[in-house]
Amino acid sequence: MSLTMTGGTAETGAGSTGKVLNVVLWVLQIALAAMFLMAGFFKLSGNPQMVEMFETLGVGQWFRYVTGGVEVIAALLLLIPRLCGIGALLVVGTMVGAVATHLFVVGGSFIMPLVILVIAGLIAWARRERTMNLLSDRR
């Protein structure tokens, strides 16, 4: 049984498998969106832990606002069917930075950002046809 992408949703020879995969992807997208809305809100609202963390990073508070803004935008895009692949790619980029920050700057466990990176990568891959269709519509 081969897995193909049709209309931006995963489908297989057995239609019900494609529907189940689509539901699983939406559950993951909604969960990531909730996490990123919360994380972005904490950064944008000046949560003392976030302020302290960005002070420790030494990049300035402007980067906290940029990161929080990207997180909120990614979360919202994950909830829009046509744009969810773009949202997943934004999460991937954000999590690459988070893993690198944990490994090389602040220490601590990088496992959670790595798990989120993998999940977002799977969503981006599964939604790649939607993203490609979006890009080809621009021509």
Cα distances from 135 to residues 29, 81, 124, 127, 131, in angstroms, run 21, 14, 14, 13, 6
Report the C-alpha gap between 51 and 60 in whole angstroms. 9
DSSP 108: S
Could you tell me if 135 and 85 are in contact, meaning their C-beta atoms sit under 8 angstroms apart? no
> For residue 48, what pLDDT is reported?
96
* Predicted confidence band of residue 134 (pLDDT cuts 50, 70, 90): confident
Two structure tokens written together for 50: 């976030």
Closest CA to 89 of 15, 22, 36, 17: 36
Model confidence over 7-52: pLDDT tens digits?
444 444 557 888 999 999 999 999 999 999 999 999 999 999 999 9
Model confidence over 40-85: pLDDT tens digits?
999 999 999 999 999 988 889 999 999 999 999 999 999 999 999 9
Residue 1 scores a pLDDT above 50: no
> For residue 11, what pLDDT is reported?
44
